[in-house]
Amino acid sequence: MKTLEDFNFEDKKALIRVDFNVPLDAEFNITDTSRIDAAKPTILKILEDGGSAVLMSHLGRPKGKRNEDMSLQHICNTVSEIIGVQVKFVPDCIGEKVDEAYANLENGEILLLENLRFYEEETNGDAAFAEKLSQYGDIYVNDAFGTAHRAHASTTVVANYFSENKCFGYLLAKEIKAIEKVMQTGEKPVTAILGGAKVSSKITIIENILDKVDHLIIGGGMTYTFIKAQGGQVGDSICEDDKMPLALDILKQAAAKGVEVHLPVDVLAADDFDNNAKTQGVAVDAIPDGWQGLDAGPATLENFREVILKSKTILWNGPVGVFEMESFAKGTIAIGNAIDEATQNGAFSLVGGGDSVAAVKQFGFEDKVSYVSTGGGAMLESLEGKTLPGIAAILD
């Protein structure tokens, strides 16, 4: 696996695919800079070697049309502040203006190209477009894990034009190693905590990780499909009736592989999907009609905590309750606290996939776990056992 450490960038121009697809408010202020912060070490290594950096990224989904609301010019000043170097911006990503800016780029300087997705050729993985991009660097660096599962021109196809002169940036290398640690090299016992609303969205992950884990904790909305499949009463809780046979099959597969599955035993139920709803604690398999389970109960959380504390490797993907509502956030916070404690005791903990990352940030656990993945879809496809095109292109 080639990384930045395999290259000296002195007098070289690095073409870096970063993931600066950051959230903006109505005034175009960045509301979460973590993706830019994450790219900083890679960019600085290249500049400190005595090279220069050409940054390319997408922002939003302009669908192949120029849209000023999604121009990367909006983020240029913030990128300059975070990196500590004034970033030059060019209002295109291919063509004469870029050619000129690239020709004038000196060692120690950074050039940010315009939104790649203003061209539909980017998402189509167009070879001619990728070849044009490839002219803006001596070495190609992919540091965008968030888009590594897409076979786009800038993430995958462009690597074909660099033969040996391509590598992973620090962020992408860290992501690959973190997933490897959970899926292949992690110290046992290995525990996966899977939450979220639906079994159907997690089925390929569950089937792929059953060979790798010792404990599988299931929480959140998909709990109720498992409980109802076993004959429990789930009231008005979210439930995929058509996935009940699948839930039973997962339990059977887990038993055959010696994996201990831990389901909730009690829940906090509410009479409405509302933060101010009436609530009551009930057994998970005896939720009254008109009530729905919206968070894990105290006995469940104690059981889960015990499992987490005896684990040496932990994967957390998905909350165990509707954490966006304060009344139903206690379970997810308790899971975060248990993982924090296990991590302090020497466990390796990886958090990845949309809502669990949002929860970790919301409740201040970012620095209390070993690693927080920056890529939602890419992380999930890695856990499903898929080879990501953006990673394969560098390894090729």
The residues spanned by each domain of the chain are: 4-168, 175-383
Over residues 27-38, the pLDDT tens digits come to 999 998 989 999
Residue 266 known to bind ligand: no
pTM attached to this predicted model: 0.86
- Assess whether pLDDT exceeds 80 at residue 108: yes
Higher pLDDT, 358 or 242: 242
DSSP state of 326: G
Residue 60 known to bind ligand: yes
CA–CA separation, 49 and 105 (whole Å):
15
Residue 353 known to bind ligand: yes
Spatial contact of 388 and 381, defined as CB atoms under 8 Å apart = yes
CA–CA separation, 200 and 196 (whole Å):
10
**What's residue 289's pLDDT?**
97
CA–CA separation, 249 and 229 (whole Å):
10
**What's residue 171's pLDDT?**
94
E strands present in the chain: 13-17, 52-56, 87-90, 110-113, 139-142, 166-168, 190-194, 215-218, 233-234, 260-262, 266-270, 279-283, 286-287, 292-296, 313-317, 348-351, 371-372
With a CB cutoff of 8 Å and minimum separation 6, the contacts of 163 are none
Tokens for 352, please give them: 């990845």
**Mean pLDDT, residues 347-371:** 90
Tokens for 360, please give them: 């970790």
Query: Which CATH topology does 4-168 take?
Result: Rossmann fold (3.40.50)
- Assess whether pLDDT exceeds 80 at residue 353: no
What are 142's strand-pairing partners? 17, 168
CA–CA separation, 39 and 85 (whole Å):
14
Residue 117 known to bind ligand: yes
**What's residue 386's pLDDT?**
82
Nearest to 68, CA basis, from 114, 15, 129: 114
CA–CA separation, 185 and 257 (whole Å):
18
Residue 196 known to bind ligand: no
- Assess whether pLDDT exceeds 80 at residue 220: yes
Tokens for 389, please give them: 């095109």
Q: What are phi and psi of 295, to 5 degrees?
A: -160, 160
Spatial contact of 147 and 117, defined as CB atoms under 8 Å apart = no
Residue 61 known to bind ligand: yes
Sign of the torsion formed by the C-alpha atoms of 325, 331, 337 and 340: negative
DSSP state of 220: G
**Cis amide prior to 189 (ω within 30 degrees):** yes
The pLDDT confidence band at residue 378, using thresholds 50, 70 and 90, is: confident
**What's residue 354's pLDDT?**
63
Rounded to the nearest 5 degrees, what angle is found at the Cα of 335, between the Cα atoms of 332 and 339?
140
Architecture of domain 175-383 in this structure = 3-Layer(aba) Sandwich (3.40)
Residue 35 known to bind ligand: yes
Rounded to the nearest 5 degrees, what angle is found at the Cα of 331, between the Cα atoms of 328 and 332?
95
Give residue for tokens 């001619």.
Answer: 128
In residues, how long is the chain?
Answer: 396
**What's residue 1's pLDDT?**
87
- The answer to whether domain 4-168 and domain 175-383 are alike in fold is yes
Active site residues: 35, 198, 354, 377
The pLDDT confidence band at residue 357, using thresholds 50, 70 and 90, is: confident
**What's residue 202's pLDDT?**
85
**What's residue 201's pLDDT?**
83
Residue 368 known to bind ligand: no
Residue 201 known to bind ligand: no
The pLDDT confidence band at residue 241, using thresholds 50, 70 and 90, is: very high
Encoded amino acid at 162, one letter = F
Residue 66 known to bind ligand: no
